[in-house]
Structure 1
Amino acid sequence: MAITIEIDHAKTRAKAAAAAGQPVVPQAVKGPIRRIKWGVVLLALSIYYVTPFIRWDRGPHAPDQAVLLDFANGRLYAFFVEIWPQDLYVVTGLLVLASTILILTNALAGRLWCGFACPQTVWTDLFLLVERLVEGDRRQRLKNVGAPLTTKRAIRIVAKHAAWLLISLATGGTLIFYFTDAPRLQRDFASADVSANALTWMLVFAGTTYGLAGFAREQVCTFMCPWPRLQGAIWDPEAYTVNYRDYRGERRTSAKKATEMRLQGKPAGGCVDCGQCVAVCPIGIDIREGPNFACINCGLCVDACDGVMAKLGRPRGLIDYESWSNIERGRRREAPVNRLVRPKTIGLTAACVVLAGAITLALATKTAASLSVQHDRDPVAVSLSDGSLRNAYTIKLLNKSLSPHSYTLSVTGIDAKMAIIGNETLTPIEVAPDASESLRVTLTATDPGQGDIVFTARDETGATVLSAKDKFVER
């Protein structure tokens, strides 16, 4: 079975609209999917704007911001989780897990993330809401395209862009709150005592929001985002994406003509060719032309079509979340089959569970200290006058906790004399809170033999034992 995902008509529409100076102007629509989308928008914006102000007690000398990307000190805080540069594997695991969940979502329902929760979609919905409230719905805004500029319209344009800029500044300001103490920076903004660095980044993020959500909009989803380009490789005919049931809708004609044709015994489809599905599409595509890589699966065309069908007293679902395989089954007059649970989705779900379990285990077993050792490379070994051999190492003790610790260093796996440069008596090594100590250590042996050795650091309580493996080499 060969499937072709149409991309040419999306590009043609975009180029034609740009040539005519007409951006995609989606019409407002009401319905259950639109209500879900508004709920997601409200939830996403609430999380984004509120999270930097949530407090989390980590004890003295530690930041109390629940989510903080403290790049200056090399820390990432997320409630009870603290990530150091040495814990980069945890961040990598989270990114792999997020990618796997995205692929699983695609296998179940296509670009559902794009249509509901992607930041580009959320902020574009917010900007479109402002545009409708200020300039009117689609019909009025299309009338304004190319129309003479009147005083009333100029005031509305200024008001719209002023609202957009305020939202953009709030968005940019909130984003930098994630990188420093939010309440303190907010007070700095209020007193006009903010640093040039913070102000610059706020303006950069605000300008990005203003440009992408206010002007680029569907161009981001169609041309700038790499995710649509992957659809040809991972598009799944069993996924429940927005599709047009052409076996019900074709041949398209008006409601009046359809009734006449049926009375004459001629076939007539349920689609009245009203164009509402195209008018409400934020990307500007016609879903009736078949699967399209630009479709973000937002489902607004489903609400629009169902609304028209309800007014005509016809069954809903002419456009619906349906698998392409079921569309083809409908053409053959076969019953639809739900195949959401299949080897692909089972495998992806299992991968998500395994990744989530591994990350949870890594976080649960992550210690508040670490020990690393590096063998000197030049020279790797030194022959002494008495015939013994000496190897030198650089040992680093890292204390991630908020209290100082003392560690006693020892070595096993070799019969050798250990010396710590600057600490000849081998007294416990003090490591300050949230700090590290580097040591120069030598091992001197008369008849060592080449093999593995293990350095061990035990804290003063004996509760924490750190170890690191290396080698003792003869030449």
Structure 2
Amino acid sequence: MSGPDPLSVLAADAAALRASSRKQRTPPPPPENEPQLYEKRRGVYPQKVQGPFRRFKWLVMFVTLGIYYITPWIRWDRGPYAPDQAVLVDLAHRRFYMFGIEIWPHEFYFVAGMLIMAGIGLFLVTSAVGRAWCGYSCPQTVWTDLFQHVDRLIDGDRNAQIRLANGPWTAEKIAKRAVKWTIYLVISFWTGGAWIMYFADAPTLTRDFWAGDAAPVAYATVAILTATTFTLGGFMREQVCIYMCPWPRIQTAMLDEKSLIVTYKDWRGEPRGSVKKAAKDPGAFGDCIDCNQCVAVCPTGIDIREGPQIGCITCALCIDACDRVMGEIGRPRGLIDYATLDDCKREAAGETPRPAWKTLLRPRTIVYFLAWCGIGLGLLFLLGARTRTDISVAPDRNPPFMLLSDGSVRNAYTIKLRNMESRPRDMAITIDGVRGAMMWTDEMDRADAARSLTLTVPADATQPLRLYVVAPRDTPAQAITFAVRSLDERGERDSSETRFEAPEVNP
């Protein structure tokens, strides 16, 4: 016994989709004489689709969510004096730890460099493959995609969601909404809870959080992030991409006719006609059968056949849907495809489009890539060349010097010794310049003053010192250098030059 004709089933589905899409895209008529400041939101109910781009989105979603939720729980041994959390923003001690890298406040240029690399990386991706960041890796896209899968799990696929949304508030609808929104809330709470784990030891903060002993800012942060994730991912979705996000407006300056974007090949698809019409009049219609599958699967609800739009996030799910339909009706795939505008013109004229690698290797993308690599290599060089010992000196300004009873001149300085190792270290401070000068600290007697002092600096800490330098009578004002050397196998050195102030010496 033969089953139903697949073309008949496809035609019936296409008719239902066109009817539902028209119903969603047609806003209700405004009341007479009442101005409309904005268009009412149209519900977007993406249909489930399978294909290589959908699988890639699954992969990206699993990887990015896995990194976000799991990273705070990864341990990293830095010794007994430093935290063992692999990635930690330690605001209390002004440190940023990322596996074997530790960034101090005076090394903020590393953070600035990474932010610049992220910006140039966005420029590179946009100029090469359009809004691929928006379509796959943007947090709004990832969480929206996750919430849309929750919709399908509870409400069913596209048609079931539309029927439920347009139907009355029955007991079944209330129950499904309650279950779905509860799952939204749990995901949102996990999202906010995972965020605060990056700023304190994750196991300790989790225990304190549930015991009610965490800082108030932790509860406030979780509440805010829970509310924003619940609202933006659960209910605003494509509105964030189209209306709230500035990136779609900025990226247009980086797109040109040589950028790969998701494109509908209208010269091949138009005029549109059903399979039956095309069979009756061969050659009168294009390959597009107006099945609306590309619209049905779009997470922002746009029609890619209308050309490039700000609502297109380049997720390429419409390519998966269109290729499946083309395969079912025996027509060539690629009616909707990644292509440049230049290649579209070539293909429309009967020429062969360029290979993808030639499209990517062009001056703009090469410049972006070289700049990105250059900054990255520069940061790696600085990271490898930096020392773990540092000294900074600030002289007293009021008074700049003091004359002692024996005629000698004394200056006072605030010294900061920085030990960036996860162990205490002995360090030697010496002075260079100012002949006959001697120094001592608040914790020493002046009788023990010397030109070199040895101090122990705690692990992973900055040690402030009050240092006094005295020079013989008639010593003129001049430069003085404080040098520090670690007394361990590293033997690291650093120095800081400042002024030794003294009264003018009469000739």
The TM-score normalised by the length of structure 1 is 0.88
Displacement of 1:387: 8.9
More displaced 10-residue stretch of structure 1: 460-469 or 57-66: 460-469
CA distance in 1, matches of 2:427, 2:395: 20
Say whether residues 1:454 and 2:481 are aligned partners.
yes
Please give the per-residue CA displacement for 1:60-87, whole angstroms capped at 9, x wherever unaligned. Answer: 1321111111112211111111111122
Shift of 1:366: 2.6
Could you tell me which amino acid in structure 2 is paired with residue 466 of structure 1? Answer: D
Q: How does 1:9-408 map to 2 (within 5 A)?
A: 16=27, 19-20=39-40, 22-189=42-209, 194-262=214-282, 266=284, 268-337=285-354, 338-378=358-398, 392-408=412-428
Residue 354 of structure 1 and its aligned partner are, at CA, apart by 1.1
How far did residue 195 of structure 1 move? 4.8
Do the aligned partners of 1:449 and 1:473 also contact (CA within 8 Å) in 2? yes
Alpha carbons of 1:420 and 1:61: their partners in 2 closer, same or farther (altered >3 Å)? same
Judging changes above 3 Å, is the alpha-carbon distance between structure 1 residues 194 and 371 closer, same or farther for their aligned structure 2 residues?
Answer: closer
Q: 1:378 to 1:327 in 2, by over 3 A?
A: farther
After superposing the two structures, state which structure 1 stretch, 465-474 or 121-130, moved more: 465-474
Shift in alpha-carbon separation, 1:295–1:447, aligned structure 2, 3 A? same
Deviations 1:367-417 (A, max 9, x none): 222111234445656788999876654321122223222322223255462
Residues 454, 333 of structure 1: CA spacing in aligned structure 2 closer, same or farther, 3 A cutoff?
farther
- Work out which of the residue numbers 397, 409, 413 in structure 1 matches 2:429: 409
Unaligned runs of 5+ in 1: 1-12
Mark the CA change 1:30 to 1:421 in structure 2 (over 3 Å): closer, same or farther.
same
Moved more, 439-448 or 221-230: 439-448
1:466 alignment partner in structure 2 = 494
- Contact 1:232–1:293 (CA under 8 A) maintained in structure 2: no
Q: Between Structure 1 and Structure 2, how many residues are aligned?
A: 459
Tell me: CA distance 1:138–1:389, structure 2 relative to 1, closer, same or farther (3 Å). Answer: same
When residues 16 and 178 of structure 1 are mapped into structure 2, their CA distance, relative to the original with a 3 A threshold, is farther
Does the 8 Å contact 1:247/1:330 carry over to 2? no
Corresponding residue SS for 1:371: strand
* Corresponding residue SS for 1:239: coil
The separation in 2 between residues aligned to 1:371 and 1:383, in whole angstroms, is 27
Q: In the alignment, is the contact (CA less than 8 A) between 1:68 and 1:180 conserved in 2? A: yes
Select the structure of larger CA radius of gyration: 2
Amino acid at match of 2:455: I
TM-score by length of 2: 0.83
The code of the aligned residue for 1:119 comes to P
Distance 1:470 1:404 in 2: 27
Letter in 2 for 1:283: T
The one-letter amino acid paired with 1:260 is: K
Could you say which residue in structure 2 is the equivalent of 1:430? 456
One-letter amino acid of the structure 2 residue matched with residue 112 of structure 1: A
Report if the CA contact (8 A) 2:389-2:493 is conserved.
Answer: no
Contact 1:368 1:399 in 2 (8 A): yes
Aligned-pair CA distance for 1:152: 0.9
Amino acid at match of 1:53: W
Shift of 1:197: 3.5
CA RMSD of aligned residues (A): 2.7
Matched to 2:483, the amino acid is T
- Identify if the C-alpha distance between structure 1 residues 243 and 418 changes in structure 2 by more than 3 Å, giving closer, same or farther: farther
- Distance of 1:379 and 1:194 partners within structure 2: 46
